[in-house]
Structure 1
Amino acid sequence: MSRPSIESPYAAKILAALQWQGENNDCGPFTVATVINGLLGLDLKGADLAKEMNRPSWRGPWVLVRRVPNWATFPWGMVDVFKQYGLRASWRLLASADQLYPAVAGGEVLLPILGSWRPLWAHVMTMVAWEGQNGWGFANTQYDHHRIHWLDEAIFNKLWGSMLRMLIRIQAPE
């Protein structure tokens, strides 16, 4: 059974706020800044957020390492920043592909982490749409434009599966 096309109710705002990460490994901070700006109407700069996230953060008696400086950002680091800005966010491994479509249609903001072990790389993007012919649509900080970046569903499933179907979920503010 084919599903009808959907677009997140926040797609236009997130795409308008989309920041290009340039030639660096800062997809996490740039994606977080894009989502926060799109949802809350702020003007966070991805480069500034990357520098901030390079430093550990104290959470009570615990130190939270949010990213490997100037390289990889951890999902709990992104969730920590979303929570700092008052957004309800969580992350998990082994998320179900069956949850993606209804979550996007229902207004949740989803950030799947995609990648490969050989060669080793990972990338996070904001899922904003589904279209039968094109697959999943994303706001992608790798490109210097504000259009939807489409990824075939089979390719998406392979790349997402390689990263143990890691998923960050954000409840948009009311």
Structure 2
Amino acid sequence: NLGSYTTGMAASWTSITLPELQKPDNSLGIPAMSENAAAWQGSSMAIGILLSMLFVPYLSELVGRRKTAIVGIYICTVSWLLKLFPVNGYFLLSSQLLIGMGDGLYSMTVPPYITEMASNKIRGRLGGLFILSIKLGYLSTFVLNAFMSHRLLTACCLIAPVVQLVGMLFIPETPVYFIRKNQVEQAE
């Protein structure tokens, strides 16, 4: 559930960094954000999530839950890189929009993946961990912010999606996907 952990980190990162980004001499070295730009920065993650909802169901059925989740985590990784090395506020705005899209891909794909892969015994607990991971992402970002610069915080936030991306490369696709694609041998 590092993807949902990343979601929590991304949402809290915005609330932590917006006051800093509105300062002319901010630690990220970009021009100060106006109130209007800050409002767009705050809402662009939600816009990205909404945009991803338009195509996630189709993509998930076309290429599978696993590959859709991998694309989502890859997008989140690119987003954190844009945040780590911003040139201006538009980079940050784009990164928030992207992380919203990546989060939408991941969040709409992983719960069905868990449902299709986990045994009845642990399925409910795994679903609960998904939400708990979001909250832990919030908490860890706020705690880390107390001890480090915004740039170092952003670099730390990049760790979770990179680890998740590597881990996702080694998990199988769900049998349900293979059966829907008439690939019964691979489903076994």
TM-score by length of 2: 0.27
Higher RCO structure, 1 or 2 (CA under 8 Å, sep 6+): 2
Larger Rg: 2
Larger relative helix fraction: 2
TM-score by length of 1: 0.29
